[in-house]
Amino acid sequence: MRRNPWILGISLVLGALLGACGGGGGGGSSSLPSKTVYWAPPPFFTDNTPLVPSRDLQGYEIYVKQDSSFGPADLAVATPPPMANSFNLGHITPPLTQGVTYYLSLRSVTISGMKSDFSHPVSFSP
């Protein structure tokens, strides 16, 4: 019997981390707050078989764009490893534009390459 590789949805939390300013006077650039997305790995496959991230997952895929509709044609902007539970959005290249609203979704990828559904999108502005 082959178990269903689709993974239950992932809950996302978007947090703001205050950017540290380097102290001292003058200087041309200001440090903007950075955003970090946090998630909890799915505990089960859809057939309720326990999922162990270090054994069953290849990693995650993070998607960011300016509308909330995610689909198969979208490209991941980052691919954190299976034991990751957060990602600093400041590491996205090219950098996101300040004041623009973006939407983020996350997928799990099994070691066999099967992908979960997209998580519910969350919105944020850098």
Residue 33 pLDDT = 53
Residue 42 pLDDT = 84
Structure tokens at 43: 């505990």
Residue 5 pLDDT = 45
DSSP 91: G
Cβ atoms of 22 and 34 closer than 8 Å: no
Compute the half-sphere exposure of residue 91: CA atoms within 13 Å on the CB side of its CA.
11
pLDDT of 83 strictly over 90:
yes
The CATH number of 12-17+30-124, from 2.60.40.2240, 3.90.1300.10, 3.40.190.10, 2.60.40.10, is 2.60.40.10
For the whole model, what pTM was predicted? 0.77
